[in-house]
Amino acid sequence: MEKVEVFNQFGRLLLTLEADKDGQVLLAHWQGHFNIENVRAGFEKIEEAIKKHKFNKLLLNNKNVMGYQIEVNPWIKENFFQSAAQIGLKQVAAFSSDNISVEFGSRDLAQVSSNTLNYKHFYSLREAENWLRTFK
């Protein structure tokens, strides 16, 4: 998979997508602010990559997210997680920064785990990567 960069409405880099070194995990490196416009634009591109490249594992690297509007979580749960699971996504690992709003928002999404989509929040990028490796 070629690296994909997604920019927000102001032309600032919002998201970088790439495959891990083994081509098994879609890596989504977020930065900036998590508001509804940015979330919709970014997750739309993530969904396209999942579908096109048949990824079933996603790593959300939120280390460089500076602000998180918790109001985006219902949209992520009800729209992205539902449609991504239907096209084959099985596991989502999220790694967050020390920003408390980002951590809280990411941990809130951890309540999503179901038979079709397993989401887990991590404080260590290495732990998140290792957890995803435990799945086929």
Q: Is the pLDDT of residue 112 over 60?
A: no
Structure tokens at 44: 């739309």
**What CATH number should be reported for the domain holding residue 43?**
3.30.750.24
Q: Supply 123's token pair.
A: 């404080």
Query: Using the 8-state DSSP alphabet, how is residue 1 labeled?
Result: -
122 against 16, higher pLDDT = 16
Contact of 41 with 51, CB cutoff 8 Å = no
Per-residue pLDDT, averaged over 30-52, amounts to: 94
pLDDT per position as a tens digit, 70-109: 788 888 888 899 999 999 999 999 988 666 555 556 666 6
What is the share, in percent, of the chain residues with pLDDT greater than 90? 59
Q: Tell me the pLDDT band of 67, cut-offs 50, 70 and 90.
A: confident
Total domains in the fold of the chain: 1
| C-alpha–C-alpha distance, residues 70 and 55, integer Å | 26
Q: Which two tokens stand for residue 3?
A: 């690296």
Q: What is the pLDDT of residue 49?
A: 98
Average pLDDT over residues 56-68: 89
Q: Which residue range is the domain that position 100 belongs to?
A: 4-133
Q: Which SS3 state, helix, strand or coil, does residue 14 take?
A: strand
CA distance 98 to 68: 12
Contact call for residues 85 and 121 (beta carbons, < 8 A): no
The two three-digit tokens of residue 75, written as one number:
């949209």
